[in-house]
Amino acid sequence: MKADFSSLVSLACHDLRTPLATVKGFARTLLGNKTLDERTVRWLGMIDAASDELVEQLDLLSLVARIEGGRYDPVTREVDSLEVARAAVPAATGVGAKVQIEPEAVERSLAALARAVSRHGGVEAYVVVDGSRIAIQPVTTAAGPVVLGEEMKDLGAAVAVRVVRALGGEVVLDGERLSVTLPVA
């Protein structure tokens, strides 16, 4: 039987985790050595941080492969939208509502969208919650296609849009406001 592309991506993500765990494990072990000079400790810290970032990127690739392959089976629960938004962006304000989502996936998605708005728009994004709708703004003209996942320049944003939609939510750009509407509980 021929494997589909999303299955190959999932397999690659799985297979890359083992050597990455080895790199991370040795970096952490060496960081525990109190006799290392400051420069070596700084470099090992960079290796450790980069390993964490690679793990996050592999998790995103694996998640989007499951979504695209029709194998995403989220474990949802009822949570408050303001709590989820604050877990993603601590400065989020507003009034929440009960939503039915996979909290960790949505937290990562909201954080990725806010980072993409800032990174690709050159502005600091702020988040306002109004019930099940979470607004991230201001979105510049340049950042719009990126945060919607239309221009593949930001993996986190591209996956975030797919996650929200796979959960039955909506991501819409209205002027300078990116509205993420989550399914009501």
99 with 30, same domain: the answer is no
Taking only the tens place, the pLDDT of each residue in 81-129 is: 999 999 999 999 999 999 999 999 999 999 999 999 999 999 999 999 9
Res 10: pLDDT:
82
148 with 176, same domain: the answer is yes
Number of domains in the chain: 2
Q: Retrieve residue 106's tokens.
A: 């949505």
The model's pTM = 0.84
Q: Retrieve residue 178's tokens.
A: 């990116």
- Identify the CATH number of the domain in which residue 140 sits: 3.30.565.10
106 with 158, same domain: the answer is yes
| Residue that finishes a domain, picked among 68, 91, 117 | 68
58 with 27, same domain: the answer is yes
- Report, as ranges of residue numbers, the positions in the chain whose pLDDT lies below 50: 1
Distance (Å, whole) CA 168 – CA 4: 24
Contact between 128 and 105 (Cβ < 8 Å): no
64 with 140, same domain: the answer is no
32 with 85, same domain: the answer is no
Res 114: pLDDT:
96
Res 2: pLDDT:
55
49 with 17, same domain: the answer is yes
Note down the domain range covering 115: 77-181
Q: What is the DSSP letter of 78?
A: E
Res 127: pLDDT:
98
83 with 170, same domain: the answer is yes
